[in-house]
Amino acid sequence: MSVKPEPVSALFAGPFALATLSAPDGPAFPALVTPDAQVLDLRTALGDSRATTRTLLDDWETVLPRLRALADDRRGDQRPLADFRVHAPVEPRQVFQSGANYRQHVIDLHVAHRTPGDDRPEGERRAEAAEIMDRRAAEDLPYVFLGLPSAITGPYDDVVLPAWAQQPDWELELAAVIGRPAHRLSVEDALEYVAGYTIANDLTDRATVFRRDMPQIGTDWLRSKNAPGFTPLGPWIVPAESVANPDDLRVTLKLNGETMQDESTKDMIFKVARMVSYASQTAQLLPGDLVLTGSPAGNGMHWGRLLRDGDVMEGSITGLGVQRTRCVAEDAS
């Protein structure tokens, strides 16, 4: 099941975006989408019947000029976007997730996740969290962990809330999509390896973030973040050349029409280039991989209102489009 997407016109920056679509009962295919909601099947346009979005990213330096030409020419066999289902724009091999990258967000979570027996006033706990964040920034210490590709779902697909998830929460984020193999990148070079950007909603069950049975082992990201469908992605990849400054984009999430998150990526402690560089210091980044850059303040724990059956989340980032997902409770039986 899925909710109906809004018209695409004027919702993404630049002359085209890269998507993964399918016709009813047909296979998924890579597509070029234009701002007037027209679609070009890239299998036909590029003469490769086995092409996927990820194979295009594998050869991004060669493919990108051809996509520019196709968007400019507009003489191919185009069809309306409304004829197709929109899937997650890419199937990554690796998902790198940035934690604690918006100062106010982490302070809010620090206060909300009160340790049992910690009866200090809220102001004191906020000051403690602020000191921790400022120290991390001064010492240049990003925080990255891994997510599962199997958690990814489409930008308009229903999100199943597992019966065991007691506190499911939203976290809208800017995601960088890697376009070249990369290892040990400098911050100065990192953005040259980013093919484009998309939207990710990194859902989290707050009740299972911390291991209460063994506090010394810390967080449990497998349990809290990686249920099937817990990462709605897309609707498309907007090429990096169409995004003037990824560190100055508005991140907005609405729940049932009410704005919950509304911040700029300017508020990130570590900017996109630093997060990509940091992930590459340990891991080999591959084309199609995602680097999620963290979520701003305004999650459900802050508002005291978590996700439940029937909720509709609408997430948007400047120039990248809009995703809209409905929450459906899993049948406890």
Name the domain count of the chain: 2
The reply to whether 178 and 294 lie within a common domain is yes
In contact, 297 and 105? CB cutoff 8 Å: yes
Q: What is the pLDDT of residue 232?
A: 98
Q: What is the pLDDT of residue 29?
A: 98
CA distances from 95 to 71, 177, 233, 291, 327 (A): 29, 10, 12, 6, 23
| Number of continuous H segments (helices) and E segments (strands) in the chain | 9, 20
In the structure, what pLDDT confidence band is assigned to residue 333 with cuts at 50, 70 and 90?
very low
Question: Average pLDDT for residues 43-54, to the nearest whole number?
Answer: 96
Q: What is the pLDDT of residue 2?
A: 67
Question: Average pLDDT for residues 217-233, to the nearest whole number?
Answer: 93
Q: What is the pLDDT of residue 110?
A: 65
8 within a domain of the structure (yes/no):
no
In the structure, what pLDDT confidence band is assigned to residue 286 with cuts at 50, 70 and 90?
very high
Q: Is the pLDDT of residue 176 over 60?
A: yes
Query: Mean of the per-residue pLDDT values for the chain?
Result: 91
Residue 279 belongs to domain spanning: 95-329
In the structure, what pLDDT confidence band is assigned to residue 133 with cuts at 50, 70 and 90?
confident
pTM: 0.91
In contact, 60 and 195? CB cutoff 8 Å: yes
Q: What is the pLDDT of residue 289?
A: 98
Q: Is the pLDDT of residue 8 over 60?
A: no
The reply to whether 220 and 257 lie within a common domain is yes
Q: Is the pLDDT of residue 131 over 70?
A: yes
**Domain containing 209 — which CATH number?**
3.90.850.10
Q: Of 32, 52, 86, which closes a domain?
A: 86
